[in-house]
């Protein structure tokens, strides 16, 4: 799954000011000192500029909350802050521009910084596009409709061309969209905000924005740590400093250092600092990032999470960790099913679903599994193979890499399968030629 950030600010959009841009230019020029750059060569200038750190050449971004998660089977949008406008423009260049788009939208809550981009999201004006809006608070539909009333916006919700459907979720309920499972958890925030945990079988992402952790003792944080446990990515409300979060008690926000503690305790791999205070300039945000890493470096007993600053345009790719694919090719009455990648719990689910379709669609009775492309086999994969063997009249395994064969040996299951070195040999065994039949 590809995670992309379209809006990273909290509360209200905060565009860069002229003073801030000027300070970035000054620093860029400082960086030029002592370097021989041919200023009459546009390429040389371009190279120099792209080599500068993001804190100088770019911006954290001024738009409010909007994050997408895209998988090979669909698009999921979290929150509709002003970042959603730019997302819409990008989607219009794809199938959403032709009215063939489909996406799910999840709302954490309905504060301005999480809904304001919705009326400016172009794909909702295109007939044929379809959106399912998942929400926890019962008032989400009313709020989204009301913010487009004529006093505030020229086009009313009822006149939108796309097909929009609201769906109420319950806390803890698992919803399946785009090959992902999405679950929710209430956070301490005025009016309650909900964190979402997104899983695809092996990778996990938690979006926990707009949440305050007033009491940090173990018994109080346990429910959150359990929900965030082992996540590959935790997107965390780092709006305030710890000091501010104490002064601004009950404002419903947290800080990077508290995020660092919680991420470490939950065994999170990557902590993304998010929902930046509109009052914080880029320099301040990058300083907090440095300080968070410094803070985490004091603990030597556990591997600290990697710290990342959420910036507009940031992408995190979690898809390469679970690359399982099934391909099918028919040879006479035998299907050659090739398996590739990690045959684990996630792979087992794909394998079972594909095999099920294959068995139901065709009158298939003979299958050769070409396992040459398998990189990993775990017990979920072994179980799936054993189950398949029960359902298929005649099944053979072919071209097993030695480490995959060894896994079958360790599970003491080799005698359950007909195993062949080559696909051709397996095919011959399943379809004996006329000569051999005599």
DSSP H/E element including 167: strand 163-168
* Residue 117 touching Zn ion (CB under 5 A): no
Instruction: Report in angstroms how near the CB of residue 197 gets to Zn ion at its nearest.
Output: 19
Q: Across-strand partners of 167?
A: 134
Instruction: Report in angstroms how near the CB of residue 252 gets to Zn ion at its nearest.
Output: 6
Structure tokens given for 196: 């979402």
Q: Which is nearer to Zn ion, 53 or 191 (CB)?
A: 191
Instruction: Report in angstroms how near the CB of residue 108 gets to Zn ion at its nearest.
Output: 8
Closest residue by Cα to residue 185 from 240, 134, 224, 241: 224
Mark the segment that binds Zn ion (CB under 5 A) among 10-18, 132-140, 366-374, 410-418.
Answer: 10-18
Residues in the interface with Zn ion (CB under 5 A) total 4
Sheet with 306-309, side-by-side order of all strands: 175-177, 180-187, 193-199, 204-208, 233-237, 270-274, 306-309
Instruction: Report in angstroms how near the CB of residue 146 gets to Zn ion at its nearest.
Output: 17
Question: Site mask, Zn ion, residues 30-69, x = CB under 5 A?
Answer: ----------------------------------------
Instruction: Report in angstroms how near the CB of residue 165 gets to Zn ion at its nearest.
Output: 25
* Residue 7 touching Zn ion (CB under 5 A): no
Structure tokens given for 140: 């989400």
Instruction: Report in angstroms how near the CB of residue 12 gets to Zn ion at its nearest.
Output: 9
Q: In this structure, what is the dihedral angle of CA atoms 275, 276, 279, 284, given to the nearest 10 degrees?
A: 170
Pairwise CA distance, residues 282 & 260, whole Å:
20
* Residue 277 touching Zn ion (CB under 5 A): no
Q: Which is nearer to Zn ion, 107 or 131 (CB)?
A: 107
Closest residue by Cα to residue 113 from 3, 209, 255, 232: 209
Mark the segment that binds Zn ion (CB under 5 A) among 53-61, 106-114, 309-317, 349-357.
Answer: 106-114
Instruction: Report in angstroms how near the CB of residue 276 gets to Zn ion at its nearest.
Output: 10
Query: Would you say 67 and 312 are in contact if contact means Cβ atoms under 8 Å apart?
Result: no
Where are the extended beta strands (E) located within 238-293? 270-274
Pairwise CA distance, residues 404 & 406, whole Å:
5
Mark the segment that binds Zn ion (CB under 5 A) among 104-112, 149-157, 163-171, 358-366.
Answer: 104-112
Instruction: Report in angstroms how near the CB of residue 194 gets to Zn ion at its nearest.
Output: 11
* Residue 111 touching Zn ion (CB under 5 A): yes
Structure tokens given for 139: 């008032």
The residue with tokens 């991420």 is 263
Query: Would you say 166 and 140 are in contact if contact means Cβ atoms under 8 Å apart?
Result: yes
Instruction: Report in angstroms how near the CB of residue 186 gets to Zn ion at its nearest.
Output: 13
* Residue 137 touching Zn ion (CB under 5 A): no
Q: Which is nearer to Zn ion, 138 or 158 (CB)?
A: 138
Mark the segment that binds Zn ion (CB under 5 A) among 4-12, 126-134, 265-273, 419-427.
Answer: 4-12
Summary count for the chain: helices (H), strands (E) = 14, 19
Q: Which is nearer to Zn ion, 110 or 200 (CB)?
A: 110
* Residue 113 touching Zn ion (CB under 5 A): yes
- In the window 152-211, what residues touch Zn ion (CB under 5 A)? 210
The residue with tokens 């003073």 is 19
Q: Which is nearer to Zn ion, 239 or 382 (CB)?
A: 239
Structure tokens given for 62: 């001024």
Query: Would you say 193 and 336 are in contact if contact means Cβ atoms under 8 Å apart?
Result: no
Q: Which is nearer to Zn ion, 11 or 370 (CB)?
A: 11
Instruction: Report in angstroms how near the CB of residue 11 gets to Zn ion at its nearest.
Output: 6
Query: Would you say 4 and 309 are in contact if contact means Cβ atoms under 8 Å apart?
Result: no
Rounded (5°) CA angle 70-155-113: 50
Pairwise CA distance, residues 424 & 407, whole Å:
23
- Helix 256-265 with 218-228: angle, nearest 10 deg: 70
Sign of the CA dihedral 183, 74, 72, 339? positive
Q: Which is nearer to Zn ion, 193 or 371 (CB)?
A: 193
* Residue 10 touching Zn ion (CB under 5 A): yes
Q: Which is nearer to Zn ion, 213 or 351 (CB)?
A: 213
Instruction: Report in angstroms how near the CB of residue 175 gets to Zn ion at its nearest.
Output: 22
Structure tokens given for 391: 């359902």
Mark the segment that binds Zn ion (CB under 5 A) among 6-14, 217-225, 297-305, 348-356.
Answer: 6-14
Select the residue whose beta carbon is closest to Zn ion and give its number: 111
The residue with tokens 């556990």 is 302
- In the window 229-258, what residues touch Zn ion (CB under 5 A)? none
Q: Which is nearer to Zn ion, 115 or 398 (CB)?
A: 115
Instruction: Report in angstroms how near the CB of residue 352 gets to Zn ion at its nearest.
Output: 41
Pairwise CA distance, residues 73 & 83, whole Å:
23
Positions that interact with Zn ion (CB under 5 A): 10, 111, 113, 210
């Amino acid at each position: 799954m590809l995670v992309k950030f379209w809006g990273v600010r909290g509360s209200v959009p905060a565009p860069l000011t002229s003073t801030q841009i000027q300070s970035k230019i000054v620093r860029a020029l400082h960086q030029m000192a002592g370097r021989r750059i041919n200023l009459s060569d546009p390429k040389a200038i371009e190279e120099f500029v792209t080599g500068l750190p993001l804190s100088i050449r770019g911006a954290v971004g001024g738009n409010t909350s909007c994050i997408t998660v895209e998988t090979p089977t669909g698009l999921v949008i979290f929150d509709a802050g002003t970042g959603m406008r730019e997302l819409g423009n990008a989607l219009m260049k794809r199938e959403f521009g032709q009215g063939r788009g489909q996406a799910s939208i999840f709302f954490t809550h309905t504060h301005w910084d999480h809904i304001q981009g919705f009326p400016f999201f172009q794909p909702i004006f295109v007939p044929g596009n379809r959106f399912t809006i998942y929400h926890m608070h019962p008032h989400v539909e009313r709020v989204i409709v009301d913010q487009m009333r004529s006093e505030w916006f020229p086009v009313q919700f009822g006149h939108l061309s796309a097909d929009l459907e609201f769906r109420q979720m319950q806390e803890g309920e698992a919803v399946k969209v785009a090959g992902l499972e999405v679950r929710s958890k209430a956070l301490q925030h005025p009016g309650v905000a909900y964190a979402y945990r997104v899983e695809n079988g092996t990778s996990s992402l938690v979006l926990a924005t707009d949440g305050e952790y007033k009491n940090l003792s173990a018994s109080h944080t346990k429910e959150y740590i359990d929900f965030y446990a082992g996540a590959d990515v935790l997107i965390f409300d780092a709006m305030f400093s710890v000091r501010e979060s104490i002064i601004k008690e009950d404002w419903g926000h947290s800080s990077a250092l508290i995020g660092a503690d919680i991420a470490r305790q939950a065994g999170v791999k990557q902590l993304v600092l998010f929902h930046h205070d509109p009052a914080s300039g880029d320099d301040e945000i990058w300083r907090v990032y440095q300080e968070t890493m410094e803070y985490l470096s004091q603990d030597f007993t556990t591997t600290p999470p990697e710290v990342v600053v959420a910036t507009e345009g940031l992408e995190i790719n979690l898809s390469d960790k679970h690359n399982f694919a099934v391909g099918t090719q028919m040879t006479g009455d035998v299907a050659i099913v090739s398996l590739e990648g990690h045959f684990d719990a996630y792979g087992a689910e794909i394998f079972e679903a594909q095999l099920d379709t294959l068995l139901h669609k065709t009158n298939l009775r003979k299958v050769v599994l070409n396992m040459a492309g398998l990189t990993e086999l775990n017990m979920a994969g072994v179980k799936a193979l054993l189950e398949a063997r029960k359902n298929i009249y005649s099944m053979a395994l072919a071209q097993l890499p030695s480490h995959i064969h060894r896994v079958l040996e360790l599970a003491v299951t080799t005698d359950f399968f007909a195993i062949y070195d080559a696909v051709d040999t397996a095919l011959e065994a399943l379809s004996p030629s006329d000569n051999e039949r005599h």
